[in-house]
Amino acid sequence: MAGPGTLRISGNTQLVLQTDVDFANAQVLLEGTSTVAGDFTMANQPGGPIFVDHSLAIPGPVTIGGDFVVVGSDTTVTVTWTFTLLATGRLDLGEGQFRAVLPASGTSNGFLRVRDRS
């Protein structure tokens, strides 16, 4: 993918990865009851946010060079493979939860922001 456009996966839609995908600087919105299938790497670059507003399991590796934002107090995102937060990456939990089933990998000098729930 290329360009700063928006990819909205919403409702009961499934994003099926059949190869590694770098969303680059595109804005990716995983909304509603959408799901992700395919054991392939999902990545982004600086300027490219990925927003998740519902509980979701991501079956493949995730590499974040941009933003990965978990929205909503009842939202839990589970990455069942490796989660790599690059130096330019930011994991923003807001009020949600994030779980990496396997140990996180890569550089650990990305930015993690956790906001107070009160």
Q: Would strands 56-58 and 35-37 be described as parallel, antiparallel, or unpaired?
A: unpaired
Q: What are the tens digits of pLDDT across the range 75-112?
A: 888 888 888 888 898 888 877 667 665 554 444 444 44
pTM: 0.84
Q: Would strands 42-44 and 83-85 be described as parallel, antiparallel, or unpaired?
A: unpaired
Q: What are the tens digits of pLDDT across the range 15-48?
A: 999 999 999 999 999 999 999 999 999 999 999 9
The 8 Å CB, 24+ separation contacts for 21-27 are 23/48, 23/50, 24/48, 25/66, 26/1, 26/2, 27/51
Residues with Cβ < 8 Å from 116, sequence gap 6 or more?
Answer: none
